[in-house]
Structure 1
């Protein structure tokens, strides 16, 4: 069965006017992950490193059910700000669920998946000065 142009569905996304600040989004995300007792939450400021987002939140759940629940809570909290996620990926397997909120991207992962991909190290390389500057004296 084919639809003609009169029957085609159009999905429109609309941001609130004015949209919430990245800080307001980040606060809602932090509240959501705290509510569901996510583990080892890290917020990384990636402004200047990525043109895709301003902040990444990386957190862990204790099981696939917990990972999915945390991601669902994030979506629920930002909807209170009238924000619909741009995308949610990985819900079926729920080992790593990504919630894209534009200015904030949330990664909810099982600990073994988080350790394997090491996103914190990837996005913080070069942020810290060397531990021992004498390593560079030659």
Structure 2
């Protein structure tokens, strides 16, 4: 195990990164965001939207909203994401809504993931509630001005 110190611009300080078995642990909110987006893409999540939250808000740095094709898909995606995050050294991950799996929340502290069935997502429309116009776009699509 090797420990290296890097500067993280969003935290404004140096952070330790532990390299173990050729895997880099996730150390910055941006790395966490990219890792979660990739995980959701691998699990075929639909319409993945990333919202950068107000830095003055204590809630989180990012919110990611995505859909699954069914309750089973939503639950499986949330559980796989939790397992992958644990494997990368992220601790204290909270899952909410696993009973019905219509809307499952994966909370890592720095990032909150909302996974919905499509009809539940359109009903609550949390992207509109948490963002400003033009702030977010579907991952992989060019961002509009």
Q: Same fold by TM (over 0.5)?
A: yes
CA contact (8 A) 2:66 2:115 kept: yes
SS of 2:44's equivalent in the other structure is: coil
Name the counterpart of 1:92. 99
- Note if 1:83 corresponds to 2:101: no
How far residue 50 of structure 1 moved from its aligned partner, in angstroms, is 2.9
CA contact (8 A) 1:75 1:84 kept: no
How far residue 102 of structure 1 moved from its aligned partner, in angstroms, is 0.6
Deviations 1:51-99 (A, max 9, x none): 2101000000000000001111211221122112441100110000000
Structure 1: 5+ residue stretches without partners: 1-16, 130-138
User: Which one has a larger percent strand, Structure 1 or Structure 2?
Assistant: 2
Taking structure 1 as the reference length, what is the TM-score of the superposition?
0.74
1:40 aligned residue (40, 43, 47): 47
The number of residues matched between the two structures is 112
SS of 1:72's equivalent in the other structure is: helix
How far residue 38 of structure 1 moved from its aligned partner, in angstroms, is 0.4
Q: 2: distance between equivalents of 1:85 and 1:105?
A: 12
Name the counterpart of 1:133. none
Q: Which runs of 4+ in 1 moved over 3 A?
A: none
Greater Rg by CA: 1
Q: 2: distance between equivalents of 1:85 and 1:28?
A: 17
1:110 aligned residue (111, 117, 120): 117
Q: 1: distance between equivalents of 2:114 and 2:86?
A: 18
